[in-house]
C-alpha cells in the first residue's frame, strides 16, 4: 500500500530535509507507519495525526493532515553516498533509509563483478539501494551520476583511507583523496548547487598537534600522505562553501570502529586475531607501536553526526570524537582478557609495522558538536572492543563448524 503526496517543498524542522528538489513521490506504508509511531522524530507535533473530529477518517484523513502541515506536501529526500560499500557508508545508508530517504551510492565497477566480496556490508539492504558505477578518478563519470541523481544531500566518504598504505603509495592516495573530492564538489556546483555536501575529514589532519585535546581551532600538522590529502579536501570544501555558496560541511572524525571495519585496521586486526588464537587458528599477533594513543569511538554513532551536520541552516566544520584516549596496548589487553587470554603470551612487537612518522596521541574535543548538533558518543571503548571480539569469535566459530 502506498500513499501519493505531491509537492516540492520541504517543511518543519529536525528530521525533515534542509532543501528539496521537488516533484511528487510515493510514500510507503512502512515509512508512513514510522511517522505515525514517532512524529516528533520527523519534526511534527505529536497531535498532528489525531483525527479527533472523525475517528473513522483513517489513512486518507491522516495524509490530508500531513499535506496540510507541510504546505505543499512532503518530498522524499534523496541522498548520494560515495564510499557506500565501506564501514561508514553502510551505517549511513541504514540511517538514511530509516529516515525515509531514497539512497543512492557510487561504487567502483569492479564491485559489481565481485559483489559477495565488495558489497558484503550492504547485503541486508541491497534491495533498497540504487547503485551507480563511477570512478573518483574520472570527472566525467562523477558528473554523469550527479546529473542523473540530482541529490538533496551528498555524503563524500570515499577515499584511500588506510594510513599505512599511504606511505607506500603517496601518489594514488593524494590523487584519489584530493582530486576525487574536487570532482564531487565541482559536479555539485554545476548540476545541483542546492545539494548539501558532507566531507569526511580526519583526525589525521592534526598529526602531531601542539595541543591536546584537539578542536576546530587546533592548527593542523599532518604526518602522512593520507593526512595531507584529507587536509587538502578539507580546504577545498571550505573554499566551495565560502566562494560558491555550496552548503558544505566537514566532519573531522576521530577513529571510529565496528565489526564492519576492514581487517587491515589495528582495532579489527587485534579483535579478529585474538578470536583466531582462542579458536586455535592463529599462534601470534604482530603489531607495531604499543604506546600509540587514539580516540576510538563507534562508527554507528558517528554517522548520526554526519547527518546532523547537513540539517543545520548554516554549514560548518565539527570535531567528532569521544574525548577519551586509549593506547594500542589498552586495546590488546581488553580484547585478549575478554577471551580469557594473557596477551603477553601471544603478542609480538614488529618494528617493521611502525609508521615512518608516528603520531603519539590524538584526542578530540567535541564540545562544539555537543552544543550545536546535540550530538554525544554512545558506545564506550570497552563495549565497542568486546562487541568486535564477540562478533569475530562467533563468525569464525560458525565458519569452522
Residues annotated as catalytic (active site), given as ranges:
202, 204, 226
CA–CA dist 391, 401 (Å, integer): 16
Amino acid at each position: 500500500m502506498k500513499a501519493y503526496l505531491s509537492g516540492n517543498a520541504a517543511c518543519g524542522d529536525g528530521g525533515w530535509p534542509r532543501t528539496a528538489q521537488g516533484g511528487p513521490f510515493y510514500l510507503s506504508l512502512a515509512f508512513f507507519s514510522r511517522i505515525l509511531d514517532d512524529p516528533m522524530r520527523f519534526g511534527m507535533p505529536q497531535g498532528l495525526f489525531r483525527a479527533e473530529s472523525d475517528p473513522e477518517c483513517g489513512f486518507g484523513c491522516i495524509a490530508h493532515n500531513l499535506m496540510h502541515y507541510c504546505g505543499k506536501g512532503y518530498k522524499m529526500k534523496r541522498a548520494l553516498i560515495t564510499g557506500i560499500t565501506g564501514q561508514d557508508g553502510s551505517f549511513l545508508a541504514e540511517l538514511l533509509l530509516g529516515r525515509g530517504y531514497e539512497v543512492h551510492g557510487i561504487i567502483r565497477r569492479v564491485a559489481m563483478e565481485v559483489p559477495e566480496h565488495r558489497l558484503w556490508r550492504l547485503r541486508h539492504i541491497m534491495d533498497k539501494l540504487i547503485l551507480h558505477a563511477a570512478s573518483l578518478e574520472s570527472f566525467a563519470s562523477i558528473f554523469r551520476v550527479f546529473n542523473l541523481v540530482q541529490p538533496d544531500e551528498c555524503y563524500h566518504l570515499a577515499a584511500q583511507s588506510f594510513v599505512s598504505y599511504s606511505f607506500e603509495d603517496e601518489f594514488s592516495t593524494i590523487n584519489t583523496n584530493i582530486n576525487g573530492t574536487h570532482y564531487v564538489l565541482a559536479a555539485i556546483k554545476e548540476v545541483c548547487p542546492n545539494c548539501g555536501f558532507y566531507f569526511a575529514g580526519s583526525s589525521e589532519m592534526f598529526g602531531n598537534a601542539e595541543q591536546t585535546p584537539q578542536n576546530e581551532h587546533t592548527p593542523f600538522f599532518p604526518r602522512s600522505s593520507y593526512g595531507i590529502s584529507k587536509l587538502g579536501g578539507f580546504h577545498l570544501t571550505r573554499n566551495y562553501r565560502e566562494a560558491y555558496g555550496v552548503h558544505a560541511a566537514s566532519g573531522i572524525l576521530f577513529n571510529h570502529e565496528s565489526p564492519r571495519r576492514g581487517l587491515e585496521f589495528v582495532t579489527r586486526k587485534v579483535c579478529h586475531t585474538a578470536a583466531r588464537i582462542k579458536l586455535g587458528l592463529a599462534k601470534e599477533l604482530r603489531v607495531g607501536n604499543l604506546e600509540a594513543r587514539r580516540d576510538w569511538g563507534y562508527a554507528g554513532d558517528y554517522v548520526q553526526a554526519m547527518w546532523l551536520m547537513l540539517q543545520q541552516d548554516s554549514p560548518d566544520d565539527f570535531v567528532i570524537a569521544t574525548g577519551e584516549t586509549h593506547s594500542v596496548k589498552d586495546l590488546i589487553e581488553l580484547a585478549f582478557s575478554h577471551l580469557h587470554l594473557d596477551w603477553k603470551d601471544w603478542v609480538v612487537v614488529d618494528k617493521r609495522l611502525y609508521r615512518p612518522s608516528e603520531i603519539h596521541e590524538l584526542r578530540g574535543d567535541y564540545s562544539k558538536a555537543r552544543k550545536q548538533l546535540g550530538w554525544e558518543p554512545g558506545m564506550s571503548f570497552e563495549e565497542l572492543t568486546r562487541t568486535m571480539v564477540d562478533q569475530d569469535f562467533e563468525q569464525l566459530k560458525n565458519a569452522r563448524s
